[in-house]
């Protein structure tokens, strides 16, 4: 929060890019209480109107991400990489709602070794958070998913929603799953 206040000062040259690294180890040793609040982000973007933020999150719990992601962050790129924890569908949904104007890159990687299969972000809901992300985030040019279940029909929906504007759609073959009815038709 203090860094955001200092950078928001009009005496500073406006920022264009801010890259943030959030790691579970640093969260364990430091409180999230010093993270910038929404007012801090608003002040920073008033002085730096072209600011875009890139967040890399390593093994950060979904609850912690929900505390970090403030509505006024001009989030352009986000990269989740997990070895212990998994990102929740709620976090993906929040990102698609709050950052629909700026988000261009969304990378979701899970290296958790779990014999029961990959986590499914849709949580057996009718609405898949990745499809909603592709629908809401009209500037999305890169979507990469590794180690999470992506249903084949949702993958097709994502490709159709973004069309040729989606320059990179990268999904691990093992992540793609089919409904049993679809599998019979294939």
Dihedral in degrees, nearest 10, Cα atoms 43, 136, 164, 171: 100
Confidence grade of residue 82 (pLDDT, cut at 50, 70, 90):
confident
Q: Give residue-wise pLDDT tens across range 23-42.
A: 887 776 677 777 889 999 99
Query: What's the distance, Cα to Cα, between the start and end of the chain in Å?
Result: 53
Query: Average of pLDDT values for 63-74?
Result: 93
159, containing H or E segment: helix 152-162
Query: Which structure tokens are listed for 112?
Result: 């958790």
163: left (phi over 0), alpha (psi -120 to 50) or beta: left
CATH superfamily membership of 14-177: Ribonuclease Inhibitor (3.80.10.10)
The percent of residues above 90 in pLDDT, for the chain, comes to 54
Contact 70, 36 (CB under 8 A): yes
Q: By C-alpha distance, which of 101, 116, 99, 16 is closest to 65? A: 99
Global pTM reads 0.89
Chain-wide mean pLDDT for the chain? 88
Which tops the pLDDT comparison, 111 or 171? 171
Query: Which structure tokens are listed for 119?
Result: 């986590």
Query: Which structure tokens are listed for 120?
Result: 């499914």
Contact 127, 165 (CB under 8 A): no
Query: Average of pLDDT values for 69-76?
Result: 96
């Amino acid at each position: 929060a203090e860094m955001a206040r200092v950078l928001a000062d009009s005496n500073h040259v406006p920022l264009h890019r801010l890259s943030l690294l959030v790691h579970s180890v640093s969260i364990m040793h430091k409180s999230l209480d010093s993270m910038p609040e929404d007012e801090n982000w608003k002040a920073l973007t008033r002085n730096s109107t072209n600011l875009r933020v890139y967040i890399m999150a390593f093994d950060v719990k979904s609850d912690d991400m929900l505390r970090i992601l403030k509505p006024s962050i001009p989030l352009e790129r986000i990269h989740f990489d997990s070895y212990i924890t998994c990102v929740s569908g709620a976090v993906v949904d929040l990102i698609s709602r709050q950052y629909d104007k700026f988000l261009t890159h969304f990378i979701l990687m899970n290296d958790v070794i779990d014999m029961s299969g990959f986590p499914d972000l849709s949580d057996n809901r009718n609405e898949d958070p990745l499809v909603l992300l592709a629908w809401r985030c009209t500037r999305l040019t890169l979507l990469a998913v590794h180690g999470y279940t992506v249903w084949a029909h949702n993958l097709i929906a994502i490709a159709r929603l973004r069309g040729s504007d989606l320059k990179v759609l990268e999904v691990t073959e093992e992540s793609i799953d089919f409904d049993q009815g679809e599998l019979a038709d294939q």
